[in-house]
Chain A
Amino acid sequence: MTQSTLDVATPERVAVELPIAGVGSRAIAYLIDVGLLFLAGIALYFAFTFLVPDPVNAVLGLSRAMKIAGAVVLFGALWIHWTAFEVAWHGQTIGKRLVGIRVVRLDGSPVTAVDSAIRNLLRLVDFFPACYPVGLVTMLFDPRHRRVGDLVAGTVLVREEAIDLSRFEAKAPAAQALSNVDLDVVTDFLRRFDALEPTARQSLGRQLLVRLGSPPADGEALDEATLRARLEARVKGA
C-alpha cells in the first residue's frame, strides 16, 4: 500500500518524507480533546455553583446582547485553548499527543502562532453546521487529508511513530546472513508477535520460515513457543 507523505526538501538536499495522518487518527485525537474539554466544562459548572446557585438559569436570564457576548467569549476561550496548546507543544494538543500526530507547516517546520490561530479559527467553518461535515469532506478529497483550516493556514498533520531500533542491532553473525528486508520483516513480526491473532500468527510465521529457507515439514504442528524460537534463532543466531 502506498501511503501519502509530506515531502520536505531540506537544505541538506535530502528529501524527508513525513507520513501524513489520516482522518481516523485525527478524529480520535479530536474526540479525546473534546472529551477533556467536556470534563473541564463540568468541573467549571460545579465551580460556578459556589458563586451562583443556578448557573444555567442565570445565563438564560441574561439579555440577548450579553448572551451573544458570552458565546463570543466562550468561542474565544476555546480558540485560545487550541492555539495555546499547539504553539506551546509544537503542534500538539493532549489528544494529538496521545494519538501521536502533530501539526506542521507544509515545509515541515513547526506551526507558528499565526498558522495555528488561522487553522483553529476556521475550525468553525469545518464544523459547520454540526459535527464537521465540511471538514470531513475536504479531508476525504484532499490527498493530504487537510480540512479547510489546514488548507488556508498551509498546515498538515503528520504521524509520529515510536520506532525502536534495538531489534536491528546485530549481536551475532547469523543475522548477517539475512537480507536487509528479511531482517526488517522478521524482527517486526517478532515485535508484534503477542499482539497478533493466533491464526494470523501461525500462517504468517510459517510463511516467514518458508521465506527464510527453513520451511516446517509437511503437516508439522508448530506451537507458538517453537515458532517463535525458530524465528528468533534465525535473527539472533542463538
Chain B
Amino acid sequence: MAESLADFVSRRRPDWTRLEQLLERLRAKQLHLDELTTLDQLYRRAAADLAHAQAAFPNTDVSRFLNQLCGKAYAGIYRARPVSLASLRHFFGVTFPAAVQQTLGYTQLAASLLLLGVVLGATTVAVDPSSAQRLLGAELMDFIERRELWTDVALSTHTPAEMATTIFLNNLRVTFAAFAAGVTLGIGTVLLAVYNGLFLGAVTAACFQHELGAGILDFITAHGPVELSIISITAGAGLVIGHALIDPGERPRAAHVRERARLAVQLVLGCAPFLVGIGIVEGFVSPGTFFPWPLKAVVGLASGLGFWRYVLRRRAAAGT
C-alpha cells in the first residue's frame, strides 16, 4: 500500500467536503440540476474511497467518516418516493378497491357468518322471548319493555356530536377486534362475527315483540348497509390473516403471513374513513324523527350502493 493515511486524507478531503456541502443543499432542496451530476460523481468516488479505506485503513476514524458520508449520500440519492396526495389518491382509487375485490370471498364468508348470527339471534328470541334478557342485558331490555327506543332516549340526554363520537369509537372497537382476532387462526374473528350478528338479530326480534319493529328498522336503515358492509370487510381481513396462518401454501409461513397481513391492513385502513362517515350518519341522521323514514331509506340505499359501486369498479381490477 503506497499511500499513507495522512496523504490519502489530504488528497481526497476537498472532494468529501464538497460532497457534504452538496448533500446539505440537497436536503434543503436547493440543489441545481447541474450540481446533481457533480453530486453523483462525488458520491461514486467517495464510495470507491470507502472501499479503499475499508481495506487499507480499517477501524480508523477515516473509514468511519467515509461510512457515514456514503450512508448519508446513499440515503439522499436512493430516496424512496415520499407519500403525497397522489399516493393517497392511488390508495383509495386503486389499491383499496383492488384489495376488496381480491378478498371478496372472505368478505362473503364473514357476511354469511354475520347473517348466521342474525338468524340464530332472531330465532332464539322468537322461540323463547325470555332469552332476550340474557342475550341483550337488563339495561337494554328495560328500554325495550318500556316501548322506548334507547337511541331516542340517548338523543334526549346527549348531543348528536357526542352520540356520533361514542358510536364511532364503538364501531372502531368492533371492527378492529374482528380484524385483530384473525391472529387466533381466525377463530376469534368467526366468533365475533357470529356474536355481532346474534346481537343484532336478538335486538331486532325483541323490538318486534314489543311493538318497536318499525322503530328499529327506522333506526338501522340509514347507516346499516354501509356499516354492515364495513364490518364484513374488516372481519374478512381477519379471516385473511387466519387463513394465511393455517395454510401458507408452498411458502414459508412467516413470508406468506407477512404478505397477506399487508393486504388485510390495506382493507382496514381503507375502511377507516368510511367508518368515520357512517358514524356521523348514525349519530346525526339515524336517531329520532327529525328525518322521515323514507329519507333514511334513501340515504341507506344510496350509501350502500355507492360504496359497493366504488369498491367493485372495474378500473381497480385492471390496476392490479
Contact = CB atoms under 8 A, between A and B. Distances in A.
A100 to B, nearest CB: 11
B80 interface: yes
B68 A163 contact: yes
Contacts of B10: 168-170
Contact of A183 (B6, B13, B48, B163): B6
A17 B198 CA distance: 57
11 contacts: A11-B78, A87-B82, A90-B27, A104-B75, A108-B74, A109-B75, A109-B80, A110-B79, A160-B68, A176-B4, A180-B5
A12 interface: yes
Contacts of B50: 14, 16
B165 A69 contact: yes
Contact of B83 (A110, A113, A158, A168): A113
Contact of B61 (A15, A17, A87, A184): A184
Interface string B261-278: 000000000000000000
Contacts of A18: 67-68, 71
B308 interface: no
Interface of A: 8, 10-12, 14-19, 63, 65-66, 68-69, 72, 87, 90, 104-105, 108-110, 112-114, 158, 160-161, 163, 165, 168-170, 175-176, 180-181, 183-184, 188
B302 interface: no
Interface of A, secondary structure class, is mixed
A15 B4 CA distance: 23
B51 interface: yes
Contacts of B169: 65, 68-69, 72
Contacts of A12: 43-44, 47-48
B68 A180 contact: no
A168 B71 contact: no
Contacts of B62: 165, 168, 184
Contacts of A180: 4-5, 56-57, 60
Contact of B9 (A16, A72, A90, A165): A165
Nearest to A175: B6
B9 A10 contact: no
B310 interface: no
Contacts of A184: 5, 57, 60-62
Interface string B1-27: 000111101100100100000000001
Interface string B36-80: 000000011001101100101101111011011011001110111
Given A168-B62, A170-B4, A180-B5, A14 B51 contact: yes
Contacts of B102: none
B64 A163 contact: yes
A117 B83 CA distance: 11
Nearest to A187: B61
Nearest to B172: A72
Contact of A108 (B16, B43, B59, B71): B71
A87 B27 CA distance: 12
B166 interface: yes
Given A14-B51, A112-B83, A176-B4, A63 B75 contact: no
B65 A8 contact: no
Contacts of A160: 68
Interface in B155-180: 158, 162-163, 165-166, 169
A218 to B, nearest CB: 32
B82 A112 contact: yes
B6 A10 contact: no
